[in-house]
């Protein structure tokens, strides 16, 4: 295709049109924002197509705006330049073996610092200090957090007052630099804060790994995110008159992972995983499988959890699962239930051979993993000892590790009357038998520090284990 128009001239025309008619920011255009991010929806594209066709003297298809979504790419295409379509299949660089170790090369973390802390815990170094100093993040529900559910009636006030107020809560969950992530304000306000939080934490994880975020654009990078709290979407649907075009993508759990892939322009698998409390550990398992299969060459695996509604806590109160003393007394005689918590974590993974080839800093190595389900147990929420033993045996067999050689297990350890004894017995049965008397198996649970982060609980414990390896020290359980 040839054109009588110069690429620079077409670009100037497009910029002038978008600035004049859509109120776009020229700096956002210069940064390579897509037409969608510049506010060009389907109807706008049809109008722009007609005007642009008249300007060029030939027919332009609205499809071109999606195949070449930035002003620069579109201008180059319209003037006959060589542009690789954004949907061109990426080239796979290869796959590992089914048992290849996986390297952990980066961590991004955001956890509550506690009621007396001025800031959240941000990053591995701050998290390690928090653990080694034996601090606890649990406090009471921040003022105003559940105000949306208070209709001013005495009845509602009594219900809220009777709901457990203990928990570990992040500060400033409404804060977000939308401009940095090239998201227009009206869309940002509709985004589940879990999406916003994970964008920030993922960016920090890539920085920790020494990987420039823009270097992963159009690469086979996979995203696996654990998330199960849909509070924001439920709150947003209460007033149908306020539902807008951004509501669906802003509140859908599936978009939590997809938002990351979209922003960083990643072309590998992208999935939000909800297996309740195991969600973020299942993402690590799936990421390792994807790396070994060659579906991706870099994987981002983690989880996020925010407590925006008192309803789940109220339900758990009725099930008598919440700790009246406000602590997760993991593996302790005083265990009386758990405490809910908030946070987000993301890890950057590569095949070990690739990490060594690329000169990456290897923080830890994943030898193997396994996933199963309890099946029918003594109740839907009750654990099954035989199933726990089976998944432990499968994990160590996959890893090629003799259970008697294991020194430490970062456990689930919720601090419940039933869960902890069952977990401890399963661990003792699989890892304790035949163990020398001078080599005891050590158990720990980060929930004693952070509370139960639910969909993000696994990645919090995973990060603690990685940091324990880095520092050659095991932080003590609280209590």
pLDDT tens sequence across 168-223: 999 999 999 999 998 988 889 989 999 999 999 999 999 999 999 999 999 999 99
Strand-pair partners of 304: 344
Which has more pLDDT, 296 or 52? 296
At 72, is the pLDDT very low, low, confident or very high (cuts 50, 70, 90)? confident
What's the chain's average pLDDT?
A: 90
Q: What is the pTM of this model?
A: 0.85
Instruction: Judge whether residue 455 has pLDDT over 90.
Output: yes
Task: Average the pLDDT over each of 223-227, 380-384, 399-403 and give the range with the smallest value.
Answer: 380-384
pLDDT of residue 182: 87
Q: 188 to each of 52, 108, 110, 127, how far by Cα in Å? A: 30, 22, 20, 28
Closest CA to 313 of 287, 342, 354, 343: 342
pLDDT of residue 4: 65
pLDDT of residue 401: 94
First to last CA, the chain: 72
Which has more pLDDT, 432 or 34? 432
Q: Do the beta carbons of residue 223 and residue 257 sit within 8 Å?
A: yes
Q: Do the beta carbons of residue 27 and residue 104 sit within 8 Å?
A: no
Instruction: Judge whether residue 89 has pLDDT over 60.
Output: no
Task: Average the pLDDT over each of 167-181, 231-245, 440-454 and give the range with the smallest value.
Answer: 231-245
Instruction: Judge whether residue 448 has pLDDT over 80.
Output: yes
Burial zone of 93 (CB within 10 Å; 0-12 exposed, 13-18 middle, 19+ buried): exposed
At 6, is the pLDDT very low, low, confident or very high (cuts 50, 70, 90)? confident
Percent of the chain at pLDDT exceeding 70: 95
Within 8 A by CB and 6+ apart from 161, the residues are none
At 86, is the pLDDT very low, low, confident or very high (cuts 50, 70, 90)? very low
Instruction: Give CA–CA dist 236/216, Å, rounded.
Output: 33
pLDDT of residue 281: 97
Instruction: Give CA–CA dist 248/250, Å, rounded.
Output: 5
Phi first, then psi: what are they for 76, rounded to 5°?
Answer: -65, -45
pLDDT of residue 93: 53
Instruction: Judge whether residue 330 has pLDDT over 90.
Output: yes
pLDDT of residue 226: 98
Task: Average the pLDDT over each of 143-157, 185-199, 231-245, 318-332 and give the range with the smallest value.
Answer: 231-245
Instruction: Judge whether residue 283 has pLDDT over 60.
Output: yes
Instruction: Judge whether residue 425 has pLDDT over 80.
Output: yes
Instruction: Judge whether residue 42 has pLDDT over 80.
Output: no
SS (H, E, C) 17-55: HHHHHHCCCHHHHHCCCECCCCCCCHHHHHHHHHHHHHH
Instruction: Judge whether residue 346 has pLDDT over 50.
Output: yes
Treating both helix axes as pointing N-terminal to C-terminal, what angle do 124-132 and 457-471 enclose, rounded to 10 degrees?
A: 80
Within 8 A by CB and 6+ apart from 38, the residues are 18, 22, 24, 28, 29
Instruction: Judge whether residue 462 has pLDDT over 90.
Output: yes
pLDDT tens sequence across 291-311: 999 999 999 999 999 999 999
* DSSP assigned state of 148: G
Instruction: Give CA–CA dist 106/218, Å, rounded.
Output: 20
Question: Which tokens is 246 given?
Answer: 């951004």
Most confident of 35-39, 61-65, 287-291, 322-326: 287-291
Q: Do the beta carbons of residue 200 and residue 343 sit within 8 Å?
A: no
3-state helix, strand, coil split of the chain in percent (to 5) is 45, 15, 45
For residue 343, is it left (φ>0), alpha (ψ between -120 and 50) or beta? left
- Domains annotated on the chain, with CATH: 7-78 (1.10.1200.10), 104-369+446-471 (3.40.47.10)
Within 8 A by CB and 6+ apart from 253, the residues are 227, 228, 230, 233, 272, 274
Instruction: Give CA–CA dist 97/194, Å, rounded.
Output: 34
pLDDT of residue 452: 97
pLDDT of residue 1: 45
Question: Which tokens is 348 given?
Answer: 């950057």
Which has more pLDDT, 248 or 131? 131
Percent of the chain at pLDDT exceeding 90: 63
Instruction: Give CA–CA dist 187/196, Å, rounded.
Output: 11
Instruction: Judge whether residue 163 has pLDDT over 50.
Output: yes
Q: 293 to each of 6, 20, 147, 298, 417, how far by Cα in Å? A: 45, 49, 48, 12, 40
Rounded to 5 degrees, what angle do the CA atoms 334, 335, 341 make? 130
pLDDT of residue 349: 98
């Amino acid at each position: 295709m040839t054109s009588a128009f110069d690429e620079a001239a077409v670009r100037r025309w497009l910029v002038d049109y978008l600035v004049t008619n859509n109120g776009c920011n020229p700096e956002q255009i210069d940064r390579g924002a897509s037409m969608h991010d510049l506010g060009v929806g389907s109807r706008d594209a049809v109008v722009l197509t007609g005007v642009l066709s008249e300007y060029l003297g030939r027919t332009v298809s609205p499809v071109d705006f999606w195949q070449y979504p930035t002003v620069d790419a579109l201008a180059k295409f319209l003037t006959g330049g060589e542009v690789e379509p954004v949907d061109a299949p990426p080239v796979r660089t290869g796959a590992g073996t089914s048992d290849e170790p996986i390297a952990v090369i980066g961590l991004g973390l955001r956890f509550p610092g506690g009621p007396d802390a001025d800031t959240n815990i941000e990053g591995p170094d701050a998290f390690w200090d928090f653990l080694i100093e034996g601090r606890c993040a649990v406090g009471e529900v921040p003022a105003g957090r559940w105000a949306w559910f208070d209709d001013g009636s005495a009845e509602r006030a009594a219900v809220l007052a009777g709901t457990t107020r203990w928990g570990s809560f992040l500060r400033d969950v409404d804060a977000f630099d939308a401009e940095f992530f090239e998201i227009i304000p009206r869309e940002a306000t509709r985004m589940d804060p879990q999406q916003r939080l994970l964008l920030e934490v993922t960016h920090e994880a890539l920085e920790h790994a020494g990987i420039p975020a823009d270097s992963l654009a159009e690469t086979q990078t996979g995203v696996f995110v654990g998330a199960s709290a849909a509070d924001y979407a439920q709150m947003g649907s209460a007033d149908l008159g306020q539902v807008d075009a951004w509501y669906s993508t802003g509140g859908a759990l599936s978009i939590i992972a997809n938002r990351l892939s979209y922003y960083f322009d990643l072309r590998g698998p992208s999935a939000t995983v909800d297996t309740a409390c195991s969600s973020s550990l299942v993402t690590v398992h799936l990421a390792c499988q994807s790396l070994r299969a060659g579906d991706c060459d870099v994987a981002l695996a983690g989880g996020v959890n925010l407590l925006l509604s008192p309803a789940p806590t109220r339900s758990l109160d009725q099930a008598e699962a919440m700790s009246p003393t406000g602590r997760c007394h993991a593996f302790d005689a005083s265990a009386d239930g758990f405490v809910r918590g908030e946070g987000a974590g993301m890890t950057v993974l590569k095949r070990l051979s690739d990490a060594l080839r690329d000169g990456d800093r290897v923080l830890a190595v994943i030898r193997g993993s396994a996933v199963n389900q309890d099946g029918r147990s003594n109740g839907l929420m009750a654990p099954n000892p035989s199933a726990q033993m089976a998944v432990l045996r499968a994990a160590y067999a996959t890893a090629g590790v003799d259970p008697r050689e294991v020194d430490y297990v970062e456990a689930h350890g919720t601090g419940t009357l039933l869960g902890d004894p069952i977990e401890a017995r399963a661990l003792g049965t699989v890892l304790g038998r035949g163990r020398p008397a001078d080599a005891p198996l050590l158990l720990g649970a980060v929930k004693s520090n952070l509370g139960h982060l639910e969909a993000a609980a696994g990645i919090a414990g995973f990060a603690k284990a990685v940091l324990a390896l880095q520092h050659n020290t095991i932080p003590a359980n609280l209590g």
